[in-house]
Amino acid sequence: MSETPEQRSHTMRAVRSRDTGPEMIVRRFLHAAGLRYRLHDRRLPGVPDLVFPSRRVALFMHGCFWHQHPGCEAAARPKSRPDYWNRKLDGNVARDARHLAELAAAGWTALVVWECETRDPQRLAALAARIREKGRT
């Protein structure tokens, strides 16, 4: 049974771009690990979710579906309206690649944490170590 336009509108309104559950997990973990950051710096390409200015690290937290995490089950494309979804999701992936390249060209290290990785404490610990490493000269 398909949703009515009103139901779909209500569902899509609930999709958040900031302060999502996975983002809050990562933020809490990194803060507890002693790392301090800035949120959503609009001066940087792609408006990273977390920015570590002194380390020149920009961190993006990508939803597996919306940003098409390679090899992840959550990234399966919808079977309905494939033309629309292929164009939309391919555009998201291209935009993400462009933002990562722009940050690299500006001398920043861009890191991506996928939604499915936020449930793994070992992955988060490795992320914290990688961010700390960028602060060493």
What lies within 8 Å, CB to CB, of 9 at 6+ separation is none
Q: What pTM, to 2 d.p., does this model score? A: 0.85
Kindly state the average pLDDT of the residues 54-73.
96
Kindly state the average pLDDT of the residues 22-45.
96
pLDDT of res. 8: 64
- The C-alpha atoms of residue 32 and residue 29 are separated, in whole angstroms, by 5
CATH superfamily for 17-134 is VSR Endonuclease (3.40.960.10)
Query: Do 50 and 38 form a contact (C-beta atoms < 8 A)?
Result: yes
Q: Are strands 50-52 and 57-62 parallel, antiparallel or unpaired?
A: antiparallel
Domain boundaries of the chain, sorted by first residue:
17-134
Higher pLDDT, 57 or 3: 57
pLDDT in tens, 4-15: 778 767 666 666
Query: Do 113 and 50 form a contact (C-beta atoms < 8 A)?
Result: no
Please say if the pLDDT value at position 19 is more than 80: no
